[in-house]
Amino acid sequence: MLPTVTFETKVWEGDYEIILGTNRLQKMIDRNCHAFERRLIYINNVNDYAKVSDLCRKKVDEGIIDDFVVVKDHAEEALDFFGLTQEDFGKGYVYSIAELVSIYLCKTEYLLHFAGDSCLAKPYHWMGDTLALMAKSPEIKVATLVWNSRLDQVRRESFREDETFCHCYGFSDQMYLVRAADFRQRIYEESHPFSDRYPKYGGELFEKRVDSWMRNHDYRRVVWKHGYYRHVSFKTDVLGRLRGYAREWLN
């Protein structure tokens, strides 16, 4: 019997119209070819919470998701749970709090996260092999697919490759499958020199802190090498360009 998994993504002011106003969300979920225990959206940093909540409620009514969460309603309790403050993240707080809240609230054994601007390129049956490997390998803390079809880059960063996976270090918040119990610990106060490669504008953001924790304890990431996800940042300054990205992702 497979363990339980929650699918979750988040929306903010710059992308909620694409994610909630098109069939993108359905594809983000369906392309994993997995029966999720829970499918959730986290709402963060929007101007009109009532409007976005109504759009999420429609997705619940359509059976696409099971529920939605307003991040700010749980931010303080999540920070307390992890022993953190908003100031600990500096500029990275806005890039980190939705992920922390989703981990804090996760009720299943595993959590699959996609950033709003990440999506599998096509349907892949990847989760069975991956969950089986993680179940017997406690040193593997994160699983993902190849990013933007760059298998060459994945291989350069890997120390081992087998028929199905590349084994490497590192962490990205674009996409991750994790054991909820591992990440519902006070693990977010570590640092590592190699983690300084993350963008300076992000401050001490979530993905940088996870990367430090993993490197300090020799924890691993595996990449399922027979498929990839696309990550293309949405441009919100020009509506036409935003619509263009939406068309690209819906193909």
HSE, CB side, 13 Å, CA atoms: give it for residue 55: 22
Tokens of 161: 């490759």
The CATH class of 5-250 is alpha beta
Task: Please tell me the pTM assigned to this model.
Answer: 0.93
- Along the 251 residues of the chain, how does pLDDT read in single tens digits? 779 999 999 999 999 999 999 999 999 999 999 999 999 999 999 999 999 999 999 999 999 999 999 999 999 999 999 999 999 999 999 999 999 999 999 999 999 999 999 999 999 999 999 999 999 999 999 999 999 999 999 999 999 999 999 999 999 999 999 999 999 999 999 989 888 888 777 788 999 999 999 999 999 999 999 999 999 877 544 444 445 444 444 45
User: What is the pLDDT, as a whole number, of residue 202?
Assistant: 78
Neighbours of 72 (CB within 10 A): 15
Cα 164 to Cα 140: distance, rounded to the nearest angstrom? 15
Q: 247 with 20: CB under 8 angstroms?
A: no
User: What is the pLDDT, as a whole number, of residue 199?
Assistant: 75
Helix axes 97-105, 75-82, angle to 10 degrees: 80
